[in-house]
Structure 1
Amino acid sequence: MSKQSSSTFSTSSYSYSSSSSSSTSEGVTTGSRSAQHVYTDSEGNTTVKTANQNLGEPVIQDTRHFDSSGQERVGALGSSGATTSRRIEDVSDEDQARRDREYEERMEDE
């Protein structure tokens, strides 16, 4: 009688780091903070999420996906199944264009 056994061992890793700094010079305070989450799954695929913020400004977030060979996967599928895209969009231009149109319409109505 022979016995066969098989076992599979999967591992993943996760790391988190953060930093912050601030200084005051001539009554003006400046500062920034950043955080980074790195997750590597059992197949060697890595997701890197970063967040950076300067004092008084909005947070800038970035997510990047890399395959096991270290190549960035552009358009990689996120956990929700949606394709992620990397783009910076200035919504203030869209808002300003909308306000301009509304203003022009009001002026035409008068």
Structure 2
Amino acid sequence: MSLSNYSYSSSSTFTSSSSNGGQRSGQAYKSTTSSDPSGTRVQTTSQTLGEPAMQETRHYNSEGKQILEGGRVLGQGNESAGNARRIEDVTDENNNDREYRDRMEDEYAKREGGA
């Protein structure tokens, strides 16, 4: 069997409902994935009880990169400098904020007799 001639398809469905004092609520979700040598298509449908279904389809090339509308490939330099997406680490605190917080903790400790 040649790996260049494969195709794959899977589907999963999730539903949930509840009733509280006569009020009913529920959600449904379905995801279908199909792949072939040219790439992968992921189609998701979700719906909240009483609302219209929302459908989204994403396409990925054979390298796993998302193909955007118009055929552009995400992450291949087609974003202009002003529109480029970037990931920023927000876990590091600003040094000034950390120093201020440390001083405040010391001041509170002094007032409580702990330092």
- TM-score category (smaller protein): 0.5 to 0.7
Give the TM-score taking structure 1 as reference length: 0.58
Rg larger in 1 or in 2? 2
Is 1:37 matched up with 2:26? no
Measure how far apart 1:69 and its partner are.
2.0
* 1:1-110 equivalent positions in 2, closer than 5 A: 10-43=5-38, 45-75=39-69
- Tell me, which stretches of 5 or more residues in structure 2 are unaligned? 72-115
The number of residue pairs the alignment matches comes to 70
Change (3 A) 1:12 1:76: farther
Change (3 A) 1:28 1:55: same
Give the TM-score taking structure 2 as reference length: 0.55
Q: Where does structure 1 differ by over 2 angstroms across 4 or more consecutive aligned residues?
A: none
Identity among equivalent pairs (%) = 33
- Tell me, which stretches of 5 or more residues in structure 1 are unaligned? 1-6, 78-110
Measure how far apart 1:67 and its partner are.
1.1
**Aligned-residue CA RMSD in angstroms?**
1.9
